[in-house]
Structures are given as C-alpha cells and as structure tokens.
Chain A
Amino acid sequence: MENLHPVLPSAGNNDRLLPDKLGRRKFLTYCGLAASAATLAACKKDKDNNNMPPAGSIDLGMGDIGILNYAFALEQLEAAFYTQVVASPYSGITAGELALLTDIRDHEVAHREFFKAALGTKAIVSLEVNFSAVNFGSRDSVLATAKAFEDLGVSAYNGAGQLITDPAYLLLAGKIVSVEARHAAYIRDLISNGSFADNTVVDASGLDLASKPADVLMAAKPFLKSVLYAGNLPTA
C-alpha cells in the first residue's frame, strides 16, 4: 500500500474551507494560535472533539479519515448484505434479477475493498452485521432492505460531501455515490416500476436526500452488531 501514501496524507484536513467562510485571521484569533493545518482542522470541528469512544465501540476517527471510515462502514454493511442475498437467493428470483444483484454485490465489495486498501492502517476493523430482521427467502423483505440501504447510502454520501476537505476524496465519493443512486433506482423499480426517483426521495426542487452521519448511523444501527462511534467526525 506504499503507493497510496501520496494520496492519503496523514493529516486528513486542510484549511481550504475557512477563508471563504469566516475570514482566516478572525478564525485564527478565535483559536488563539497560529495553527498548523491539523490543529486548525481540530479547532474547526465541534466542541466535543476528541471524545473518548465508549468501551467496546469502534471510533470512526476525525477529519477526512473519519469520513472515509464512515463510508467504509456503510460499504461493509452493503457488501455483507448483498453477499448474503446472492448466496441464498429469494424464492422466485429471476435470472435477470440474480445477475444484477450479483453485479451490485460486486460493486459494493469493490467499494469496501477500495476503502480498506486506501485507508491502510487507518481503516476501522471489519464490522459484525446483524441481518436478523431480514428474511432472505422473501423477495419483499430483501428488496425493501436493499432499497433502504441504497437510499441511505445516497443520502449519506450527499450529506458527507460538505464534511470532506480534500478535493480528491470528494471526487472519489462522487464517483461512488452515483453508482449507489443507479442501484437505488434499479431496486426501487424492481419493487414498483417508475419509483426510481419518486417524491419520497426527491423533493419539489428536484433534489435528492442528504443526511448527516448521525442520522445515517442511527438508521444503520439495527443492522450492526458492532457499535460505531461518530463523536469525532467533523460536523461542518
């Protein structure tokens, strides 16, 4: 993974966001120091920064690395789900459905492994999932869960974009989110043809959902045995 290091600097933040928003000098005065980029990034985040994660929980981390680990966590969840879907197809599955659900599994595995490789030693551990609420033999149950995961994934990436400071990571997130949106539309059409972008996900301005990590992780929680700690993620 040595070749990744130029792509993933250890300081996951920079001060790019600040000048246009608040005026750098004022902000530095507030921070009370002429900060290094890393300290400045820490100052930018909320006051609960550097919280200790509760015992047994997995700390997603800070800054851009934290956001990448957050994405890694969601991709782990999706990959585990579709791996199970393909391993034990629901009754009545068509060849066409199985082929495309296998594609989706492969895409999610690709995303998961990409984040794992890119994060290297900064990657969180493999998560334990809990799919006890899913009936993998039932088309309705599987597709309803898939729809929830895909729409959640889209809203998560859309909401996380503004928390990323490195343009290269923003582009990577953009490359993935549109594939998740393609999945979401396909799954929705399997459930009800024409619901690919209905008004439960697209508002009157034609905008898709965008959610904060806290809300996304709350929705994902029932499907995870592992407990994630997001208290050090950037919030703005």
Chain B
Amino acid sequence: MNIQNIISEIAQFDSEVYDRLDSRRAAMRQFTRWGGRLALAAVPFALGSMFKKAYGQSSGGGITAVLNYALTLEYLEAEFYTKGAASGVVPAGTPAVGAINTIRDHENAHVVFLKNALNAMGATPVPKPTFDFTAGGAFANIFSNYDTFLAVAQTFEDTGVRAYKGRAAELITNNAVLTAALQIHSVEARHASHIRQMRKARGAGLKPWITGKDTGGIGAAVQASYNGEELTNQAGVDITKFVSANAASESFDEPLTAEQVLAIVKPFIV
C-alpha cells in the first residue's frame, strides 16, 4: 500500500488533512513508528487508527469488541490444537499429524494477528481465558481418544465459521478489518471441511458440508452448534425450488449470534 498516496487523495478534498494529522511529518513519523513495530499485516489497522485519531471518529467500540470476541474464540482453538498436537492423541505416522499441525499453526497465527490488530487500533486485547477442554467432564477423554478429539475439533471449526459470519456486518464500516475477518472466516471453513473428512475416514457419516442440522453423529452434546443450519429459504427465495432440501441447506452456511456462541463455548471456559 502507498500511504502517501492515500493521504494525498484525502488532501484533494480536505486541505486540512495534514493539520488534522498534526503535520505531515509528524503523522508519517507516528505511522512509521507503528509500522515498524507491527506485523505487516496489521499496518492497515494502524492506518485506520491514525485517521481515527485525526478525525475523532469512534470506529473503535463495536469493531474492537468484535475483534476481542474473535480473539477469544481463536484462543480456544489455538490452545485446543496446541495441546492436542502435543498430547499424542493424533495417530503418529499418519497424514493426520500434518493436518492438525497446519490447523494449529493457523489458529495460533490468528491469535497473533488479532492481538496485533487490536493493539494497532489502540485497544487492549482480552487476556486468554483458562480452558477446560473436557467441558467439565463431558469430553473426559478429549486428549486420549482420537474420535472425541476430532468431534470437538469439528464442532469448534463449524462454530467458528458461524461465529465470524454472525458478526461480519458489524465490521462493515472498516474495510481492512472486515476483509481480514472474512479471510479468517474462510480458513476456518477449510479447516471444518478437512476435519469432517478426517471423521468420515474414521467411519462417521458426514460430508465436508453441513446437511440440515446434522451433527455428523456426535449427538446432543453439540446440537446447539448446528441448530439453524437447516434453513432452506434465503432472502425470501425458496432454495428447494432448485435443488433437494439437503442440498438447499448445505449450500448456505448460517450465522450464530454472539449469545449463542458464548453459550456453546461456555462449558470449555473455566
């Protein structure tokens, strides 16, 4: 990105932009200071913060709240896969090891990215909660039984996809943050697809996509993560006019509200 061009563009219709930014030199010095300290990926957020200060806009509250919400979910996933990969629950010498390591690395990268983004926007990242992946004993063998581990992994991924989707609209005023959230969202969906294939290879009856509100054989313990996925009417259009009811539900993933997601993950947070 060319920061100077962006500022020049704004100067065309706001001749006071440099004053607003204290002075061109000070602004760029401030920006360079931020930029040097941050991962490159966080630079758009730092730029947003610079303009936010200059114009006194409060784009912060809602957006940083969503980012902290996302960070909480990413903490959950990152620690889950980090512990899982270290536990030996994933059969050694199989392709599963590489797949779980890949997902682990992505979730940890999401944690770093979101923390950087929040810091760049002048907000404070929420601290990592203490997790109990047995969910109070409901999944007591989480790190010793591979099928339990994959079942919880699937639920986290499918829930994560729905969680990002449910709050994307709150980011609509900030292009950089919205785009980054969408870029994380589709990675979670790739993970979900692969974990579901891993479970299928273990004999579970499911597909890479969600049919109706089916849990893929996991059952009532995770039903809340799938309720609502059975929708076959989109914006007033009955999708079953074109394809089967199963395909109609599979072809659109549905959002979850923050309240729904927090209820789902609550048993995993001490």
Contacts and interface: CB of A to CB of B under 8 A. Distances in A.
Nearest to B161: A178
B230 interface: no
Interface of A is mostly: helix
Given A20-B57, A22-B10, A175 B254 contact: yes
B208 A182 contact: yes
A204 B105 CA distance: 9
Contacts of A98: none
Contacts of A21: 51, 57, 173
Nearest to B110: A206
Contacts of A26: 13-14
B126 interface: no
A23 interface: yes
A194 B98 contact: yes
Given A19-B57, A103-B247, A177-B186, A193 B95 contact: yes
A86 interface: no
B247 A107 contact: yes
A212 B26 CA distance: 33
Contacts of B190: 181-182, 184-185, 196-197, 201-202, 208
Given A7-B236, A110-B248, A179-B251, A206 B187 contact: yes
Nearest to B235: A7
Given A182-B189, A197-B187, A206-B113, A4 B182 contact: no
B199 interface: no
Interface stretch (B84-92, B217-225, B238-246): B238-246
B255 A194 contact: no
A205 B175 contact: no
Interface residues of A, number: 71
Interface stretch (B127-135, B139-147, B164-172): B164-172
B252 interface: yes
Interface string A116-139: 011000000000000000000000
Interface residues of B, number: 69
B197 interface: yes
A159 B189 CA distance: 16
Interface string A152-190: 001001110110110110111011111111111110010
A106 B13 contact: no
B267 to A, nearest CB: 24
Contacts of B13: 26-27, 29-30
Interface of A: 3-4, 6-8, 16-17, 19-23, 26-27, 29-30, 100, 103, 106-111, 113-114, 117-118, 154, 157-159, 161-162, 164-165, 167-168, 170-172, 174-186, 189, 193-194, 196-198, 201-210, 236
28 contacts: A17-B175, A22-B14, A23-B14, A29-B13, A30-B13, A103-B207, A110-B252, A114-B237, A114-B242, A158-B179, A170-B168, A174-B185, A175-B253, A177-B186, A181-B193, A186-B193, A194-B98, A194-B99, A194-B102, A196-B99, A196-B194, A202-B190, A205-B109, A205-B113, A206-B105, A207-B183, A207-B184, A210-B179
Given A161-B182, A236-B175, 9 more contacts: A20-B59, A113-B241, A170-B169, A179-B250, A181-B186, A182-B190, A186-B208, A205-B112, A207-B180
